[in-house]
Structure formats: structure tokens, C-alpha cells
Amino acid sequence: MKRNPSTPPTAMKPLLPLALAAALCAPLPGWAALYKCVADGKTVYQERPCANVQGTQSVLPGAVPRAQPAARTPAPAPASAPASAPVTGPAGPSVSAPAPSRPPLTDAEREDAARRAFAALAGGNVNAYHAMLCPEAQAKYEAAGGKRLFRDFSRSILRDRDELTNVISHRGASVYLDATRIADHATGRREPVGLVYTTEVRQDKNGAPCLSGLAVTTRKSAQR
């Protein structure tokens, strides 16, 4: 084989170390990093860090450390259901607890309701008196002529100028009230009424007092 006279025989020799260095400095497929380890005067190239801590270690340029895969955390085991769950109530939608009931009316509350009802009639305010009646009493009076009866009762109170005085007695839900009326219009002298006013005061569905309706009865009945 004929050599090119223009190329000296030793021209190719310097290229070999350069090629080897380029190969060592280039990232190697499948390697995370390339370490140059010098220990006991010997140079070693390896993928793992140098084992001898007394030696010299360096990462060659161009070698990219491989990211370690994140440790997989084992999924927690599903909680096992108890062998027998205690039954705390019947199946289905829960039923709300009933609202606490209102305390029973006191005698003072019954007396106050009776006096307010009487004041409504004495002032001619039939609608206000009607609103104070219990629902069943309203239905009963409406069937019997309702407000016409109330107006007649109101006129009799206004005519005689009746006024309530003291309480005669309480009996269950009923209250009995004494009254006076004008005996002499010229002088304004008053005298006790022969009859007493009474009503039964109960509670409506909201716990508020309501009346069965004012009525008059004998004093003897009130004192039994």
C-alpha cells in the first residue's frame, strides 16, 4: 500500500488519546454518572462513587446523575369492617326530636288573659276579642252568629259600665272575676254586679293562652 507522501506516519497517533478522552467525557447510555477515582496512585473510571474515602473522587463533565426513583409508599390496607356493627336505631331517615312543650299556664297568666279579653269587649273591639279565642271556640261562635253575639255582649258591658275587680277563685283552667257596675249615673256610684265573669283559659298549639269565651255565672258557682 502506498502512503501519501504529504501525510507523516505519526499524524494519526495524537488522534487516539483525543478520541478516548471524548468517549470518556461523553454521557454513557444507561449510566447516571461517571466517577474518576484515584486511590493508591491508580486512576479508575466507574459508575458508582469511589469506595475508598481516602482517595480522590470527581464527577466527569457531561455526566448527568441519574435521578433515583422515588420510594414507593405501600398503599394502606383497607380498613376491615367490624364483624358486627351495633345497631343504634331503625333504618331510614332520622326523626327530629319534638320541640320541648311549654310549661302550663299559671293562675296569673290566666287572669291576665281574661282581663285583656274583657277590656277588648268593654272598648268595643270585637275583632281583638275574637282573635283571643281558641280555634274551636272561634268556629263554635261563628256557627252561632259569632260577631253579632260579641257586639251584643260588648254593648251590655258599655251600657252598664261594668269593670272587673278582684279574682274570686281559680278552678282548673277557669278563672272567676268579680265586677262592679254603675248604680247611679248622676253620682257615678258603683255597686257589685250580681253575676261574675268567667272564662276558661287554655293553650293553643304554640303554647300561647287562648280563651273559650267570656261568660257570666252566679257568685255561688264561683265559690264552690
**Would you tell me how many other CB atoms lie within 10 Å of the CB of residue 30?**
7
Give the pLDDT confidence score for residue 128 in this predicted structure. 94
Q: How many angstroms separate the CA atoms of 156 and 191, rounded?
A: 16
Read off φ and ψ for residue 198, nearest 5 degrees: -145, 155
- Tens digit of each residue's pLDDT (9 = 90 or more) over 122-169: 999 999 999 999 999 999 888 877 788 889 999 999 998 999 999 999
Q: In this structure, are 122 and 218 located in the same domain?
A: yes
87 falls within a domain: no
Could you give the residue ranges of the DSSP H alpha helices within 38-125? Answer: 107-122
Q: In this structure, are 207 and 113 located in the same domain?
A: yes
44 falls within a domain: yes
Give the pLDDT confidence score for residue 157 in this predicted structure. 92
Question: What's the number of domains the chain is made of?
Answer: 2
**Would you tell me how many other CB atoms lie within 10 Å of the CB of residue 23?**
9
- Tens digit of each residue's pLDDT (9 = 90 or more) over 8-43: 444 444 444 444 344 444 444 443 456 677 766 677
Q: How many angstroms separate the CA atoms of 94 and 41, rounded?
A: 84
122 falls within a domain: yes
Please name the residues in contact with 36: beta carbons below 8 A apart, sequence gap of 6 or more.
43, 44, 45, 56, 57, 58, 59, 60
Confidence of residue 74 (pLDDT cuts 50, 70, 90): low
96 falls within a domain: no
Q: In this structure, are 112 and 197 located in the same domain?
A: yes
- In which domain, by residue range, is 206 found? 107-222
Least confident of 32-36, 47-51, 54-58, 183-187: 54-58
Q: In this structure, are 119 and 211 located in the same domain?
A: yes
Q: In this structure, are 46 and 150 located in the same domain?
A: no
Q: How many angstroms separate the CA atoms of 119 and 125, rounded?
A: 9
Mean per-residue pLDDT over the chain, rounded: 73
Give the pLDDT confidence score for residue 141 in this predicted structure. 86
Q: Are 181 and 157 in contact (CB under 8 A)?
A: no
Of residues 96 and 124, the one with the higher pLDDT is 124
- Tens digit of each residue's pLDDT (9 = 90 or more) over 170-207: 999 999 999 999 888 888 899 988 889 999 999 999 99
